[in-house]
A and B are shown apart, each in its own frame.
Chain A
Amino acid sequence: MATQAALPAYGAQASASRGSKRPKIKWGAIARHVILAIFALIIILPLVWVLLLSVKSLPDAYQNEIWPKTFDWTHYGYSLQKIPTLPQNYWNSILVTLGTVVVTTVCAVLAGYAMVFLQVPGIRIVFALLVASMFFPTRVTAVIAIFETQKDLGLLNVPAGLIFPYVTLSLALSVFVMRGMFQTVSKEIYDAARIDGAGPVRMLLTILLPLVKNGIVVVIIVNFVTAWGEYLLAKTLNTNQSAQTLPVVLAAATGGMGAWVWPRLAAVYIMAILPGLIAFGFAQRWYIKGLQEGALKA
């Protein structure tokens, strides 16, 4: 960032009489902000629309009033009570996502650590395979075999069974993020701790983990988003509505029909995206730092 405090400086510049150059720069900055603000609006407006839809009274919703004349806050409670499997679907999503996030994060931390600090025989082959897997659409190409494998294991229509295929969805990426993070740790810290007698486990838990926490946040968020919304496998593997996750149930719901009138559908939708957005709100500082430190370099 070259010049500091450019925004407040415009007034100052005007009085400092750098006449010829001033208007040009100012128009550029204004155009920049206008364009960015338009894009920000394009991002936010659809979400505002669905949020408003979820609190509209039914007549307002069906007359397509963008801003509701009468607010109706009951859609949230109603859909949870009256759509019989919904609390179960919600719980399935939470269970599957939690399991996937925890397992993948543990896997990625251990693997990333071993790749950077330990001599693992055959690591090059593992590494090459993981890289190759990122360019291979495993979830799509292998969905038939994943289905058969889950069937063999008796995991069809078992909500938690989804955890197994879900872990692999972002596993390679997670390992690379953690590997990238561990590479930013200086060798001196590692050697100093080793000379103090720290074994591989204690080293990882007490010394290295705090140093790579931004990367862990990235891994958690990436896997949360992957698992929380995954559709193809969830639809293929769990066909009983009570074993399904939220996105599959929502996608199957026909808007405007019966219990799924539009505002209720929108209410369930808001309940589906809110956990992620709230978590992101809390974690965004570390997330962006983590992206800059390790993830985008991988």
Chain B
Amino acid sequence: MAQLTVAQPQHGRSGAERSWLQRVGDWVSRYGVPWVFLLPTMIFFIGWAVYPIVRVAWFSLLDYRPIQADRPVTFIGLQNYVEAFADPLLQVGIIRAATFTALFLPGMIFIPMFLAVLIDRITNARVATFYRLVLLIPAMIPGPLIFLLWKWMYDGYIGPINYALVDVLGIFTIQNQPQWLSNQLVIPGLTIMEWWWGLGYHTMFFLAGLASVPRDLFDASKVDGANEWQMFWTVTFWRLLPVTLVLVVLRFGTAMAVIDEYLIMGGFMRDRPTYTWTVYMWDTAFQGVQDRGYGAAIGWVGTIVMLVVVAVMFWAFRSRD
């Protein structure tokens, strides 16, 4: 109230009667106070997100190997990038990340969409809530702990998956049982794990999308004699398309830049399908000669490739609105 009534007349007779000090005071109370509320967010956002991003870009222009004390830090322009673009390991690393992403995305979209349609039809509120809660359990477990659990599940010695396949079902023997973390199977194995992890979380997105679909639409198409399958493709899918596109862009970005999974389940063997550009970056910057400059360049090349695709997706998806 005080601000409202006092501020207005002051505005009217600004200038002559008020000193510049008063005006600065007004300006601060008008614009400064709101900024006080934003200050904590900005300190962290600038200090530990914006600044490191800028700084890592700077590193990528340097010859920077802090472990070699006698080697001077020198500015070498785009030399690291020239090297990176010609580096076959980086190309392979980006292709490996893209392979995982291509395998991961369809299941991460369509399985939760399917489950959301099923849960949405359940008329008993308690049963529906029960399914939601159970599916959300993995979302309450931090990613790296999920990766550990699945690393053990895939284990050939103690893991229950091969126990079921060998001892219970007898499909495989101990000699030819699938080695889930081998070079051949590790990417499909990781993909299944990621689907398990994201199942409930993504189902919630689609359920929120479905909740906004008017029920009349379903009733109308039912009257028209549409079966479930037709109803999904004529009504539901199109209603869910905005949510789907957002998820595709978000998950494409996260999948291309995955690193924890690869570190935990893959290691640093360069011929592993898990040795993607992210692992290559970390390996270069923090192990061996600790070439931080080249590591930074690897990180930027991978990130820019990813961002270009995200930008293209934004453009492609937006034009339809």
Q: Within the complex, which residue of A114, A146, A231, A235 is in contact with B48, where a contact is CB–CB below 8 Å? A: A146
- Residues of chain A within 8 A (CB-CB) of B2 are 197
Knowing A7-B124, A251-B148 touch, does A284 contact B133 (C-beta < 8 A)? yes
Interface size class, chain B? 35 or more
Contact B263 A231 (CB under 8 A): yes
- Residues of chain A within 8 A (CB-CB) of B158 are 53, 61-62, 64, 255-256, 262
Chain B nearest CB from A1 CB (Å) reads: 5
Contact B264 A251 (CB under 8 A): yes
Knowing A136-B307, A225-B139, A232-B259 touch, does A36 contact B118 (C-beta < 8 A)? yes
B138 — nearest CB in chain A belongs to which residue? A43
- B40, B118, B155 — which one has the most chain A CB atoms within 10 A of its CB? B40
| Measured CA separation A266–B149 after assembly (Å) | 9
- Residues of chain A within 8 A (CB-CB) of B303 are 136-137, 140-141
Contact B143 A118 (CB under 8 A): no
Chain B nearest CB from A228 CB (Å) reads: 5
Interface size class, chain A? 35 or more
Contact B41 A141 (CB under 8 A): no
Majority SS at the chain A contact face: helix
- Residues of chain B within 8 A (CB-CB) of A273 are 141, 145
Q: Which of B260-314 contact A (CB under 8 A)?
A: 260, 263-264, 278, 281-282, 285-286, 292, 295-296, 299-300, 302-303, 306-307, 310
Contact A66 B199 (CB under 8 A): no
Q: Which of B14-22, B51-59, B74-82 contacts its partner? A: B51-59
Q: Which of A186-207 contact B (CB under 8 A)?
A: 194-197, 200
| Measured CA separation A249–B83 after assembly (Å) | 36
| Measured CA separation A263–B259 after assembly (Å) | 28
Q: Which of A251-298 contact B (CB under 8 A)?
A: 251, 255-256, 262, 265-266, 269, 272-273, 276-277, 279-280, 284, 288, 291-292, 296-297
Chain A nearest CB from B150 CB (Å) reads: 8
Contact B1 A167 (CB under 8 A): no
Chain B nearest CB from A169 CB (Å) reads: 9
Contact A231 B264 (CB under 8 A): yes
| Measured CA separation A191–B34 after assembly (Å) | 17
Q: Mark A210-249, 1 if CB is under 8 A from B, else 0.
A: 0000000000010001101111100110000000000100
Majority SS at the chain B contact face: helix
Contact B140 A5 (CB under 8 A): no
- Residues of chain A within 8 A (CB-CB) of B53 are 136, 138, 141-142, 145
Contact A110 B37 (CB under 8 A): yes
Verify if A83 is at the interface (C-beta below 8 Å from B). no
Contact B56 A142 (CB under 8 A): yes
Knowing A5-B123, A143-B282 touch, does A194 contact B37 (C-beta < 8 A)? no
B residues with a Cβ closer than 8 A to A are 1-2, 4, 30-31, 33-35, 37-38, 40-42, 44-45, 47-53, 55-56, 59, 115, 118-119, 121-125, 127, 129, 131-145, 147-150, 152-153, 155, 157-158, 160, 163, 167, 196, 199-200, 204-205, 208, 211, 215, 218-219, 228, 249-250, 253-254, 256-257, 259-260, 263-264, 278, 281-282, 285-286, 292, 295-296, 299-300, 302-303, 306-307, 310
A residues with a Cβ closer than 8 A to B are 1-7, 28, 32-33, 35-36, 39-40, 42-47, 49-50, 53, 61-62, 64, 66, 103, 106-108, 110-111, 113-115, 118-121, 123, 126, 129-130, 133-138, 140-149, 164-165, 167-168, 171-172, 175, 194-197, 200, 221, 225-226, 228-232, 235-236, 247, 250-251, 255-256, 262, 265-266, 269, 272-273, 276-277, 279-280, 284, 288, 291-292, 296-297
For the A-B complex with A50-B152, A167-B48 known, give 14 more contacts whose Cβ atoms are closer than 8 Å: A46-B160, A110-B38, A111-B37, A115-B38, A120-B38, A130-B45, A135-B310, A140-B281, A141-B299, A145-B53, A149-B47, A168-B45, A235-B263, A292-B211
Q: Top 9 closest A-B pairs, CB basis? A: A229-B142, A137-B257, A114-B37, A142-B52, A231-B144, A145-B52, A118-B34, A145-B55, A6-B123
